[in-house]
Amino acid sequence: MESDTCDLSEGMSTERAYEAEPVPSLSETITARSLAVSFVLGVTLTVVAMKISLNSGFLPSLSIPACLLGFYLSRVLIRLLEYMDVSHLPFTRQENTVIQTCVAACTTIAFSGGFGTFLLAMGRKSAGDDSVRYDVNVEEPSIPRMIAFLYLVSFAGIFIIMPFRKVMIIRHQLTFPSGTATAHLINSFNTPHGATQAKLQVSMLFKSLAGSLAWSVFQWFFSAGKDCGFKTFPTFGMEAYRQGFFFDFGMTNVGIGMICPYAITLSMLVGSAVSWGFLWPYIETKEGDWYPADLGSGSLSGIKGYKVFIGVSMILADGLFNFLSIMFRTSRTMTKRRKQPMSSAGGNVNQPFQHLIGEGPDMEQQKTAKSFDERRRAQVFLRDSIPNMVTIGVYILLAALSTAAVPILYRQLHYYHVALVYLMAPLFAFCNVYGFGLTDMNLSSTYAKIAMLLFGSWVGLKDGGVVAGLVACGIMMCTLSNGGDVMQDLKTGYLTLTSPRAVLISELIGTAFGCLINPTVFWVFYKVYKTGGANGGDIPDVPYARVYRGMAMLSVGQEGLPRHSMLLAKIFFMLALALCMLRELASRWEWRVQAYLPSTVAMAVAFFVPPDMAIGMCVGSLVLWLWERTDPVEERMLSSPVASGLICGDGLGSLVSSLLTLTKATAPICIKFLSRGDNEKLDAFLAKMPAT
């Protein structure tokens, strides 16, 4: 009997290939083996996720590497158990789904936990020279407080979204594109053909990882001093290098460029050209006129003020437009589906699972099921009962605990502020998840920014409104982001016949892992790496921390901004809004120009990060483009593992460098690049030195 386990269109039956296999029980799905593999992969991929989040401010989905590595490592462990003659359970796609869910829940906290955004935005490094004004608006990162905060706020969103699972997955049949793609990948891996393909992909991933790790360690030997190493190679000349335009030989950016769409990469390059190539050099010529000349690079009253507020205005414009657009599309889609007759499928559901669906509130599945796959999946999805009153009660309990404890951790926020956040969260969570299922866009950060602006302005600058807004933002982001992720994982579970109860437990275990692993990994990066610029006051490596700090300052009314900064912010806000509208119209009417319109958010991110990141991403996109032209079949199958390996290897190389730094080891060689004039001066100086 043939199967289309690799056919995403489901023109043939996927579940026919697994019809003879019984659905494993909960104890056969969540095993000690799956938890051990999940923990190992959680630690490994968290290093990667943290590196990406701190460098770029966003986190691409790591679900594909998680399910791929989970499949391979589980098979290796099974081979080891067989060699030792130890009895074991067979490895199933349901166990693969559990591993993927645990690892994804763990690594996602690298972004939703605010390590590259709101947590660092509270610190003195993000505040820069302005932190001396109001100490109440500064809270330095602390690992015990980070762990306590994450455990308090990370679980509520998982429970509040569970009552909507049947509405989202069964009734409205939302797509959740990333979750669907992950499910089809898991289904294909666990067939004989899929196992061969997975083995090839994993082999390529580990080769890429080993090469990236070796290259990262090799570079360390030449970095014995300030501005030493290959990362300072002036690729396009010394003048371009001074403005940040060079290739830094970092494999993380190359890997990200291979994962991101071409439009995102090119948009960042355009943003870098506009900001670092034109706007910032022009504003620097106004030093002493528009802003005082004696300010440090970290002051919002200087050049940093222009960078922060112009970039923030563009992100706010894009967020506002997308929020309104998705709300409109969501409401329109819900209205259309509500008007559709529920009996359009007729009565052809009397074979073979009709008795398992039955009558009652889930009758809509009986009426809409059209295929063997849908009936089979609905049977498993609806079989496990998770009472809504239980999940709602747990949400209320967690919200009450957080309401009492969060003001102890952050005194700027009072208990009634926290309670109001949790009262708002269920409505936002439903809207966010529904839009997520339609568009694959998780807008939890947009809703979180609304909470930041609301509570920051409520508390005020002198009473710690900056920190209060950032904490409220963090609560909302963790709640909504984790809620969106669990619904996406439920979609994956639905397509792989994994029970919702197993998905829920896996999500809770992965989140518990992440609340401990992520702060630990972050602390290594935070303590070892110098996150400041040349003077230690700027944070080019953590761009979104400045974005969130700037938004929080806007919410409380920042004083002492440089001249024309708000005027420029308003101008770029309107330009970004116009660009969003033009892009939407071009997409709707299918204009040819739509392929050449840049992404507003990607351009705004480039206003904060130096151009070398965009250049590295462009190198990755160029590699992908050339590969696609020469061998498109191999590119589709292997490009994602290669990109993941580059990112993983560079992340592990960063960890190795961190450990070497902690042991006070120093590189033996310094490579430094000088202009011809500086080199002549150096030669003349050395000529005057006495011979040794």
Cα(500)–Cα(511) distance, integer angstroms: 16
Q: Which of 144-148, 531-535, 561-565, 610-614 is most confident? A: 144-148
In this structure, of 38-52, 65-79, 271-285, 538-552, the range with the lowest mean pLDDT score is 538-552
- Contacts for 610 with CB less than 8 Å, ≥ 6 apart: 244, 272, 276, 540
Sign of CA dihedral 66, 68, 72, 75: positive
Which among 500, 484, 491 is positioned nearest to 434, based on CA atoms? 484
Cα(452)–Cα(556) distance, integer angstroms: 10
pLDDT at 433 over 90: no
Phi, psi of 664 (to 5 degrees): 65, 25
pLDDT at 646 (0 to 100): 82
pLDDT at 37 (0 to 100): 93
Q: What single DSSP character describes residue 294?
A: T
pLDDT at 393 (0 to 100): 94
More confident residue, 654 or 567: 567
Cα(189)–Cα(6) distance, integer angstroms: 9
pLDDT at 507 over 90: yes
Instruction: Using pLDDT thresholds of 50, 70 and 90, give the confidence band for residue 515.
Output: very high
Length of the chain: 692
Instruction: Using pLDDT thresholds of 50, 70 and 90, give the confidence band for residue 590.
Output: confident
Which among 360, 408, 399 is positioned nearest to 382, based on CA atoms? 360
Q: What single DSSP character describes residue 690?
A: P
pLDDT above 90 coverage of the chain, percent: 21
More confident residue, 460 or 417: 417
pLDDT at 597 (0 to 100): 85
Lookup: tokens for 123: 């610190």
**Average confidence (pLDDT) over 633-646:** 80
Lookup: tokens for 290: 């528009």
Cα(336)–Cα(412) distance, integer angstroms: 45
Cα(488)–Cα(442) distance, integer angstroms: 10
pLDDT at 175 over 80: no
Instruction: Using pLDDT thresholds of 50, 70 and 90, give the confidence band for residue 178.
Output: confident
pLDDT at 288 over 90: no
Per-domain residue ranges for the chain?
28-331+373-683
Q: What single DSSP character describes residue 154?
A: S
Q: In the predicted model, what is the mean pLDDT of the chain?
A: 79
User: Rounded to two decimals, what is the model's pTM?
Assistant: 0.68
Instruction: Using pLDDT thresholds of 50, 70 and 90, give the confidence band for residue 208.
Output: confident
pLDDT at 9 (0 to 100): 39
Cβ atoms 69, 82 nearer than 8 A: no
In this structure, of 69-78, 127-136, 544-553, the range with the lowest mean pLDDT score is 127-136
In this structure, of 133-147, 335-349, 402-416, 635-649, the range with the lowest mean pLDDT score is 335-349
pLDDT at 340 (0 to 100): 61
Q: Which residues pair with 409 in a beta bridge?
A: none
pLDDT at 149 (0 to 100): 95
First to last CA, the chain: 82
Q: Pinpoint the alpha helices (H) of 190-236.
A: 192-220
Cα(137)–Cα(206) distance, integer angstroms: 45
358-408 pLDDT tens trace: 334 444 444 444 577 788 888 888 887 788 899 999 999 999 999 999 999
* Distance, C-alpha 364 to centroid of its chain: 35
Cα(551)–Cα(445) distance, integer angstroms: 12
pLDDT at 595 over 80: no
Residue type, 389: M
Cβ atoms 491, 586 nearer than 8 A: no
More confident residue, 357 or 47: 47
With the CA atoms of 312, 316, 319 and 320 taken in that order, what torsion angle do they form, in degrees rounded to the nearest 10? 180
More confident residue, 361 or 25: 25
Residue type, 297: S
Placement of tokens 């300030």 in the chain: 226
The three-state secondary structure class of 496 is coil
The burial of 11, by beta-carbon neighbours within 10 Å (0-12 exposed, 13-18 middle, 19 or more buried), is given as: exposed
Instruction: Using pLDDT thresholds of 50, 70 and 90, give the confidence band for residue 648.
Output: low
Cβ atoms 279, 272 nearer than 8 A: no
Cα(253)–Cα(52) distance, integer angstroms: 8
Which among 675, 670, 606 is positioned nearest to 245, based on CA atoms? 606
pLDDT at 275 over 70: yes
**Average confidence (pLDDT) over 127-148:** 76
In this structure, of 127-136, 326-335, 491-500, 618-627, the range with the lowest mean pLDDT score is 127-136
Share in percent of the chain as helix, strand, coil (round to 5): 70, 0, 30
Sign of CA dihedral 63, 68, 74, 80: negative
660-681 pLDDT tens trace: 766 777 888 888 888 788 778 8
pLDDT at 355 (0 to 100): 36
**Average confidence (pLDDT) over 102-110:** 92
Instruction: Using pLDDT thresholds of 50, 70 and 90, give the confidence band for residue 339.
Output: low
In this structure, of 103-112, 474-483, 541-550, 606-615, the range with the lowest mean pLDDT score is 541-550
Lookup: tokens for 504: 């829920």
Q: Which of 202-206, 299-303, 614-618 is most confident? A: 614-618
Cα(493)–Cα(476) distance, integer angstroms: 26
pLDDT at 533 over 60: no
Q: Which of 83-92, 504-513, 681-690 is most confident? A: 504-513
